[in-house]
Structure 1
């Protein structure tokens, strides 16, 4: 009888201990799971890049033709953004911090280095390292509001080298907007169609609005498994109303997987600024094709063929213009992309051919064309 009582008592104690242990384990797992989910809402990523650039049949240092390398880069490099210094040069370090909650979140995108400085050229003080800085609110499953500084929604290419196939950039990207500060609303119309409306400061005035004028932006998007297309608009006064007229830009960006190995991207844009007095509008327009062929898991070969035209002096100091202030350029860029883990090497050959004299050759004579080689290295984390 005593043995049976002890055995029953032992069973009861064991069951209580087992229940307590199970409860404690489950509680600990729930705490760990909650902590893991909470921690996973934060993200840290970014990139580091640098490059080597060499002109073929043209000067590679400013003193060859008594120019100032800080102001006359268009003579020894294409008049596009980034990758325009000869020899071994720095790109930027990009650090992106983010929080993605169920309803709200933020992004703090910081840049350090020459590419970053060129990207935030209208910033002053500490904001010179801010590429993007915004908070967002998922109002519903179909509506998202974003307030702050965000990279432009127009165009095919972006500031970060990890988002572009070619290491050097196009003319359309370089003279379209880089970033905006304002309020935008994204709408998911259905599984494939989307829309966006925005009210923003004048383009690239990301810290403040010195003109008390605003830009209206809009986008209509379509996305499927094989690709996407976005029709973009912006309209408004980009400066003091008494000094410049309103600017209108329409831009189409699309890209499709034609097959498992072949991809084709297309970007076309048109920009027009109204005159203040009698006269014609001025601006630019262009089109670019981005065919890419994947030869293996690690290597892809791509071509960017771009035609870019300036009319009525819509841009100066980019390419040579005729007596009527018109000019155009065709730029062909052949790029290879080779992946080594998180590191991507991008060797590329580029030929810029303008309608008017725009570059210098080794004899210090003006010429219409410029050939160059660039080797970019991009590490993504």
Structure 2
């Protein structure tokens, strides 16, 4: 074999290796993940429909009851170099209840790493508020808290995340009012958001127009927690909102008391106290939620839940001021 032919074969081999490496690199930068959740729910009250706290959009105004679909979502992300994009598409009653934006978009944004510590994002992203999120995969409880339902759920705008160290971070955002029902700003009003995080404890502030007709709404939120023991975790969420224009708001707090008994089983209690304010009138509700999480496989978990809601000020369901709900949910995640 001639030296020229050997040289050509070496060049061809090198080229093919580079092409294969480039293809593998591109494939690794593209990722898919998502989840599916379904449930059955009821209550133990006579002549009352529904089970409180199930996040499901409906036209009748009644809470979810019987067998139901949660949501199916697919998250597509691509990252290369300093930039990337995320498209989170969600379908189903849970997605519709939590996200009133255009179509079935849960999140849709692009991001750019300006430095090793600074990331800029533009588009629609889920809120940085609160302990719970829209997708049940990342929630310990299947039913959602009153604090979660009070919103906001998502924001459309620009944000800057700055990671000072492994322990300390800051975030600044300018967004449309979260109550707008389309992915564009038709009111020419805005909200400003800020977050500071330190060792897993986060303090959040949002101020501005809410998209529901009020221009001076203030939201304050603390989300955090700590490990009391190797197996027992205490999560905390407290929030406050007020508007002088609306002459009202809300405040409340919830604890997330969770004990892990094994690699596949955990039990948790979520006590929550929530109050809405309007003028000189306050309306409060107490909710106690006991949830058992069991992982059947790496991807499939089931949640059995008993929830008791009571109020001296407002009916919880129909005319009932005390309601016990029972829910069984199955959640499958893929990635």
Whether the TM-score (by the shorter chain) exceeds 0.5 is yes
1:261 alignment partner in structure 2: 231
**CA apart distance, 1:325:** 2.9
| Unaligned segments of structure 2, at least 5 residues | 58-62
| Distance in 1 between residues matched to 2:242 and 2:110, nearest whole Å | 32
Secondary structure of 1:31's counterpart equals: helix
> Alpha-carbon deviations, 1:310-339, whole Å to 9, x = none?
1126xxxxxxxxxx5311111111111111
Whose radius of gyration is greater, 1 or 2?
1
Is 1:208 matched with 2:178?
Answer: no
Number of residue pairs matched? 327
Matched, 1:369 2:322: yes
For 2:136, the equivalent position in structure 1 comes to: 161
1:101 equivalent in alignment to 2:45:
no
Matched residues in 2 for 1:233 and 1:133: separation? 23
Q: Is 2:252–2:274's contact at 8 Å kept on the other side of the alignment?
A: yes
- Structure having the larger proportion of residues in helix: 1
Q: Which residue of 2 aligns with 1:294?
A: 260
Question: Secondary structure at 2:103's aligned position in 1?
Answer: helix
Aligned-partner Cα distance in 1 for 2:311–2:48 = 19
Alignment of 1:224-303 (within 5 A): 228-239=200-211, 244-275=214-245, 281-303=247-269
What is the CA–CA distance in structure 2 between the aligned matches of 1:133 and 1:150, rounded to whole Å?
7
Contact kept, 8 Å, 1:60 with 1:86, in 2: the verdict is no
Listed as ranges, the matches of 1:92-241 within 5 Å are 92-121=71-100, 123=101, 127-205=102-180, 206-223=182-199, 228-239=200-211
Change (3 A) 1:359 1:142: closer
Unaligned runs of at least 5 residues, structure 1: 1-12, 62-75, 314-323
Distance 2:291 2:157 in 1: 35
Paired position in structure 1 for 2:60: none
Residue 33 of structure 1 corresponds to 21
Spell out the pairing of 1:289-368 with structure 2 (5 A cutoff). Answer: 289-312=255-278, 324-341=280-297, 342-359=299-316, 366-368=319-321
- Provide the residue aligned with 1:316 in structure 2: none
Corresponding position: 1:54 with 2:20:
no
**Cα shift at 1:360:** 5.1
Residue pair 2:54, 2:64 contacting (<8 A) in 1 also: no
Is the alpha carbon distance of 1:92 and 1:98 closer, same or farther for their aligned partners in structure 2, counting shifts above 3 Å? same
How far 1:299 moved relative to its partner? 0.7
More strand per residue: 1 or 2? 2
- Give the drift of 1:60: 5.4
TM-score by length of structure 2 reads 0.91
> Take 1:198 and 1:153, find their aligned partners in 2: how far apart are those partners?
10
String of CA shifts for 1:325-370, please: whole Å, max 9, x gaps: 3111111111111112211100000000112241458xxxx33211
> What root-mean-square deviation, in Å, do the aligned CA atoms of Structure 1 and Structure 2 show?
2.2
Instruction: Decide whether aligned partners of structure 1 residues 140 and 22 sit closer, same or farther in structure 2, where only a CA change above 3 A counts.
Output: same
